[in-house]
Structure 1
């Protein structure tokens, strides 16, 4: 979450408005508002109807829907980034364990070689 304490009044107001406009409730309200002028657009003919669809309905409703979609995609991206980070941490832990085991293995191998060489010298 962004710290809104340092952005001042304008930043807080913009974040508040963005949260409201970027909701499906607002998208439904915009759709209802746009539908009020639909009968008049139908009555005026095809050009007015196309104009109503492109300039009124799509712009009003899609604004909120796209904002909601961006929020959903951002949450999914954040979740994926967190999972990638956790996977990377796990791989690093495993790599450290492998390095420790290789070091122990090398030490044991050296000890075995020394034992074999001392065994041959004593025979």
Structure 2
């Protein structure tokens, strides 16, 4: 039996196991034409809005709108200001940044799980081959002993 080692980097040396699919292979999809452009644009906008720099910019924009709200002295204007500018404009990018952090953690875990499953699948295949070889040797020995 080959020495497989336990280092995660050694897993990359193995050929793809037929029963183990990487999570990235599941979600990858070929897009063409307008769908490809729409996907590209959506990803660019999402990556742009989902940054803390965008949150800072929206917060500064939000501060520019604060003086008229203070002068209005109307509860409906305050509610509208908080609901439409503070919650939607400022918190949206911050929430997106948090989701990106969580998603990166989940992707790292999925990648680690995939490498572990690949390692275990290959190890199991090799163990099964060893057991088949041992069974064959035992049957051969039994046959030789029965001829004596």
Shorter-chain TM-score tier: 0.7 to 0.9
Mapped pair 1:17 → 2:45: yes
Deviation beyond 6 Å, 4+ runs, structure 1: 1-5
Aligned to 1:52: 81
Q: What RMSD over aligned residues (CA atoms) do the two structures have, in Å? A: 2.8
Name the CA distance, whole Å, in 1 between partners of 2:78 and 2:120: 59
Q: 1:1-123 residue pairs with structure 2 within 5 A?
A: 6=33, 7-8=36-37, 12-43=40-71, 44-119=73-148
Q: Which runs of 5+ in 1 are unaligned?
A: none
TM-score, with structure 1 as normaliser: 0.73
What is the TM-score of this pair, normalised by structure 2? Answer: 0.63
Q: Deviations over 1:11-61 (max 9, x none)?
A: 555443332222110101101111222243234144432321111111101
Higher-Rg structure is 1
Aligned length: 118
Could you tell me which runs of 5 or more consecutive residues in structure 2 were left unpaired when the two chains were aligned: 1-27
CA drift of 1:64 comes to: 1.2
